[in-house]
Structure 1
């Protein structure tokens, strides 16, 4: 008995027609090229995906492009991300966070068959479009988004919440190992003003988010 298809992987009537069209157009017995030729008709489009599944959508779309032999019609597939530093169990981890949840950028020479292949990719809900027409973005518009991702890699932001009055321990700098209370928070500069006790007197000092940890005291 054949294995049942996952509902997300079942072929729709539209996809059957697409597959027949693509098979009829494909030359038989032709060896695969090492790399797709540059297509002057490539334009950038944005597809909507389930939030949190952007990377899965990218992988699924790449697999479908290969399965339908569409490598010559699809170029880059990008997910704009930015580095974010998180604290887990007192340790710092830098991860690439998707800063445009639910959006995937695809460079392609869009036609009706390719539209169906993309639209029927699991967890894709559609194109960013005006009326019935998907919106094509310029190279400059896409680069502006992707370059924002590259620029933030030089200075990752720390994903950690602080509140006034909270007790923290300074881990680096001249006041390392001092405990104090948070007096002010600057989210833009990623700094805290912490009141530490020096010779029994409260003294303010400014430290970065990355140089403190939450204290139980």
Structure 2
């Protein structure tokens, strides 16, 4: 991931990041549309990248672990482009191209969208970078919470969360085995929240 979001080393590719609102679940369609034009070099000097920040979410249902991508900003994509020229006028072909993309409602900010500040896009890019290769649980747990173990040698036992290691995606759970509480290290997806019926 490039640190410099402005690509200032290449004067042709200077641009800014803008927030673009999409219809629900149409973010991928809008990104595909924009990416296709970028790859076909239709607007290579004006539109550089479309981004859907997401993270991998894991959960266990009926004893099976599943993963899916969860969008960090549902209903929005982020587009790196040259929307304004040197005179600060809208570049009409970029404006109409992005507004005409499949599933796009329009730029956040209407007819005069403001670009994201460097600090804002840097934070978003950092979020994306940090979530690469990591899983997060669909359910967020708290220390002291009772959970039921859904996988591994302690299947169907319940225990109390003593520690949460978000970096490694692990929980330390005290489980009662033969009348003694024993700390067991488990992955997020190996437990589920206790319900009233448990």
Q: TM-score range by the shorter chain?
A: 0.5 to 0.7
Residues 74-115 of structure 1, C-alpha deviations (whole Å, 9 max, x = no match): 111111112222335534344432111111111111112221
Q: Kindly tell me: are residues 183 and 51 of structure 1, through their superposed partners in 2, closer, same or farther at Cα, counting changes over 3 Å?
A: same
Residues 55-84 of structure 1, C-alpha deviations (whole Å, 9 max, x = no match): 111012233566792222111111111222
Partner of 2:158: 181
Matched, 1:72 2:72: no
Q: Secondary structure at the match of 2:28?
A: helix
CA contact (8 A) 2:147 2:158 kept: yes
Matched, 1:103 2:76: yes
Partner of 2:125: 146
TM-score, normalised by the number of residues in structure 2: 0.67
Q: Secondary structure at the match of 2:101?
A: coil
Give the Cα–Cα distance (whole angstroms) in 2 for the partners of residues 96 and 112 of structure 1.
34
Larger radius of gyration: 1
Give the Cα–Cα distance (whole angstroms) in 1 for the partners of residues 60 and 48 of structure 2.
36
Partner of 1:168: 149
Partner of 1:128: 108
Indicate which of 169, 173, 186 corresponds to 1:208: 186
Relative to its length, the structure with more helix (as a share) is 1
Structure 1: 5+ residue stretches without partners: 1-36
Give the Cα–Cα distance (whole angstroms) in 1 for the partners of residues 189 and 78 of structure 2.
36
Matched, 1:116 2:96: yes
CA contact (8 A) 1:39 1:109 kept: no
TM-score, normalised by the number of residues in structure 1: 0.62
Matched, 1:82 2:59: no
Structure 2: 5+ residue stretches without partners: 1-9, 84-90
Count of residue pairs the alignment pairs up: 173
CA contact (8 A) 1:167 1:181 kept: yes
Q: CA RMSD in A?
A: 3.6
Give the Cα–Cα distance (whole angstroms) in 2 for the partners of residues 162 and 80 of structure 1.
23
Q: Kindly tell me: are residues 60 and 178 of structure 1, through their superposed partners in 2, closer, same or farther at Cα, counting changes over 3 Å?
A: closer
Matched, 1:46 2:23: no
Give the Cα–Cα distance (whole angstroms) in 2 for the partners of residues 84 and 57 of structure 1.
22
Q: Secondary structure at the match of 2:127?
A: helix
Give the Cα–Cα distance (whole angstroms) in 2 for the partners of residues 153 and 62 of structure 1.
21
